[in-house]
A and B are shown apart, each in its own frame.
Chain A
Amino acid sequence: MGRILVLAEHNTGTLDTVTRELLAAAARLGEPAVVLLTGPGAGPALAGQLAGWGVTDVYLAESTYAGTRLTTPAVAALEAAVRLARAAGAEVSGVLIAGTIDGREVAARLCVRLTAGLISDAVDARLRDGVIVATVPVLGGAYTVEAVAKGLAVVTVRPHSIVADGIPGSVPDRDVPGGTVTAPIRLEIDAELERGRGAEIVAVHPRPASGIRPGLTEASVVVSGGRGLGSDEGFGLAGDLADLFGGAVGASRAAVEAGLCEPGLQVGQTGATVTPELYIALGISGAIQHRAGMQGAGTIIAVNKDADAPIFAVADFGVVGDVFTVVPQLIEAVVAHRAAAG
C-alpha cells in the first residue's frame, strides 16, 4: 500500500471537518500521512489535534509565508513532503486536497511540479486492483465518470461528499493515545518561497456568516426563486419558505440577471450544483441551464404559472398556479401540519 498524503485544512487554530473526510478517504487508499502548513509556532497545537484523531504521521511546515502568499506555500510543503517520503523509500501513490477554490489551485500547481495526474472534484475514491479510482460528477452531474491517474494521483475531494461509516464526514477515532504519536517531521520551505512565484496576500476579508441559513451546496432543503417572483420583495417569499425548512435560498440565472438576488445564489450550469433532499422551484421555468444544477435533488417541487414550463418535466410534484397564492398557503399548511404533529 502506498503513502497517501492529506493536506490539512485549518482555520483560526482549528482543523476543518474536511480534513477528517480526506483522512477517511486516505485510509481506504493506503497509509495516510498529513501535511500541515501553518504560520510560525502554530504547528504543534494543530499536530496535537491530529494526534487526537489518531493520525500518527505528520509533515509540518511552519512558514511566515503561510498566510501571505497565495497557493505556493502549500504547494511547496506538499512537494517537500512527497520528496522526503520518496527519499525515505516510501511509494507515494496519492495526494488528497480539499476541493475548495484554494485547494484546487494548490493541486493544479503541484501536478506541474511533480508531473502528476490531476483528478478534480471527486466525490469518492476507492482502491481497485491497487489503483486509486475516483468518482467524479461532470457536466453538472449529468454524468458520473471514474477517473484514474498515471503514476501519482493528485485528487481534490468535494467537501461533505465522503461518507465514512454511514455518517458523512465522520472518521472513527482510532484508539491511539497522544503519547505514542511520533513528532511531526519538519519541512523547510521558506528558502524556496523567497524566490517568488506566489502572489502576495495583502488583506483577507472573511465573509460574514449569513444569518442562520446553511450554505447552498450543504443544505438538505433548497428553495430557489426565478424571474417569476418579479421583484426583491417577491424573492423574499423564497427566503420565507427556506427558513421554514431551515434551508438555503437559491436562484435561477434569470433571477440573478434581473437583479432579484446576489449572483452567489445561482443554481445551474454556470452556478452551483446542488443535491438536497428537497428542492422547491418557485417561478422558475427550468431551462436546461438551471435543471443541470438541481436535477440530482431527492424530491423536486415546482410552482409556476406556465403549464408548459420544462421544470414540470423533472418535478415530483408540480402546481400550475400563482406563487403568490400557492406559497403562502403552503407555508400555512406546513405550520399547521407541524402543530398538529405536536
Chain B
Amino acid sequence: MNIVVLVKQVPDTYGERTLREDGRIDRERGTPALDEIDERALEVALRLRETAGGEVTVLTMGPPEAVVALRKALAMGADRAVHVCDEALAGSDALQTAAVLAAAVRATAAPGAATFDLVVAGNESTDGRTAAVPAMLAERLGLPQLTFLGSVAVDAGIVTGLRITPEGTTELCAALPAVISVTEGSAQPRFPNFKGIMSARSKPLTTLTLADLADHGLVEAEAGGANSWSLVCTVTARPARAGGTVISDDGTGGSRIAAFLAAANLI
C-alpha cells in the first residue's frame, strides 16, 4: 500500500506566535517545528505500512526551511519526501493549497506504482486550524474523505475508521483510494532513533516547483497570495492583559477570592 502523508512546518505552540499585518503567520519569529498532529498522521501511516507493506511518502508545501520538517519525518521512518517549494506559492489560501497538494499527490505516486492508495493528514494544523485542506484535497482528487479519525484500519482495499467529534463518534468506511485525517488521540508518535536519523540522509527528497506540477493539473497563474480566493483585510492584536492583584495565602486566600468575586458580582 502506498501512502502519502501531508505534513506542515508550523510555529511551535510552546513559543510566541505572531501575525503579520497582511494576516500571514510570521514565520521569521517563533520556533519552527513539524506540526505535532502531522507526527501522529505519520505514525498512523508507518503502522499501516508495517502490516500492509508499501511505501510512505511525506509531502509538504512550504518555504525552503520546511525541509527540516521533512528530514524529521524521514528520520521517523518515511521512505521518501516531496517538497513543493516555489516563491510564487507564498500567501496561498486553503483552496489554492489543496490544488497544489492534489497535483503533487498525483505527481508523487511511488516509482513503479500505478498510483497512491491512501492520503493521511492531521485533522487540523495547530496554526491555521481550519481543518479545510484534507476535505478540499479529497474533493479535488474526487475521493471520499474519512476525517477526524481516532482509529484507522485498512483491510482488503477498504479503509475503516472511527470519527470523533464533540457530538459523538461515527463509524466510517470507504474503498481505497481515500483521504483520511487523524486526531490527537490516534497514535503516539515514535521518536527518531540514531539509525533513523543517519538513514534519513540517504533517502530520496524531491523538490518540485509550480512548473513541475503543470502537467498534473495545476494552473500556475492561479497560485499565490495575489490570486487567493479569501483575503485578510485587517489584523488587530488583542491588547495585552494586565495582571491584577496577587496575594500569598495567609490562611484567608479562599475567602479573599470569594470577596473579590462578590465585589465583581460573579457569585
The yes or no answer to A326 lying at the interface (CB within 8 A) is: yes
Interface of A is mostly: mixed
Known A-B contacts A149-B229, A197-B143, A325-B249; the reply to A313 vs B257 at CB < 8 A is: no
Q: Using a Cβ–Cβ cut-off of 8 Å, how many residues does chain B contribute to the interface with A?
A: 81
The yes or no answer to B112 lying at the interface (CB within 8 A) is: no
The yes or no answer to B211 lying at the interface (CB within 8 A) is: no
Residues of chain A within 8 A (CB-CB) of B148 are: 101
Known A-B contacts A70-B170, A119-B230; the reply to A318 vs B15 at CB < 8 A is: no
Residues of chain A within 8 A (CB-CB) of B249 are: 319-322, 325-326
Residues of chain A within 8 A (CB-CB) of B135 are: 71, 104-105, 108-109
Residues B238 and A143 in contact, CB atoms below 8 Å apart: yes
Residues of chain A within 8 A (CB-CB) of B16 are: 288
Residues A108 and B247 in contact, CB atoms below 8 Å apart: no
Docked pose: A112 CA to B94 CA in angstroms: 10
The yes or no answer to B114 lying at the interface (CB within 8 A) is: no
Of the listed residues B144, B171, B185, B237, the one surrounded by the most CB atoms of chain A closer than 10 A to its CB is: B144
Known A-B contacts A118-B230, A133-B233, A143-B237; the reply to A317 vs B13 at CB < 8 A is: no
Known A-B contacts A143-B19, A301-B260; the reply to A318 vs B237 at CB < 8 A is: no
Contact of A104 among B131, B230, B234 (CB under 8 A): B131
Question: Which parts of B219-249 form the interface with A (CB within 8 Å)?
Answer: 228-238, 241, 243-249
Residues of chain A within 8 A (CB-CB) of B185 are: 263
Docked pose: A197 CA to B140 CA in angstroms: 10
Contact of A100 among B165, B172, B236, B256 (CB under 8 A): B165
Cβ proximity bits A308-323 to B, threshold 8 Å, 1 near / 0 not: 0000111111111110
Residues of chain B within 8 A (CB-CB) of A328 are: 254
Residues A148 and B230 in contact, CB atoms below 8 Å apart: yes
Residues of chain B within 8 A (CB-CB) of A146 are: 232-234
Residues A315 and B229 in contact, CB atoms below 8 Å apart: no
The yes or no answer to A261 lying at the interface (CB within 8 A) is: no
Residues B136 and A317 in contact, CB atoms below 8 Å apart: no
Residues B234 and A145 in contact, CB atoms below 8 Å apart: yes
Known A-B contacts A141-B238, A329-B253, A333-B254; the reply to A112 vs B140 at CB < 8 A is: yes
Docked pose: A326 CA to B37 CA in angstroms: 37
Q: Which chain B residues have a beta carbon within 8 Å of chain A's beta carbons?
A: 13-17, 19, 23, 25, 36-37, 93-95, 98, 126-127, 129-133, 135-136, 138-140, 142-148, 160, 163, 165-174, 178, 184-185, 228-238, 241, 243-249, 252-262, 264, 266-267
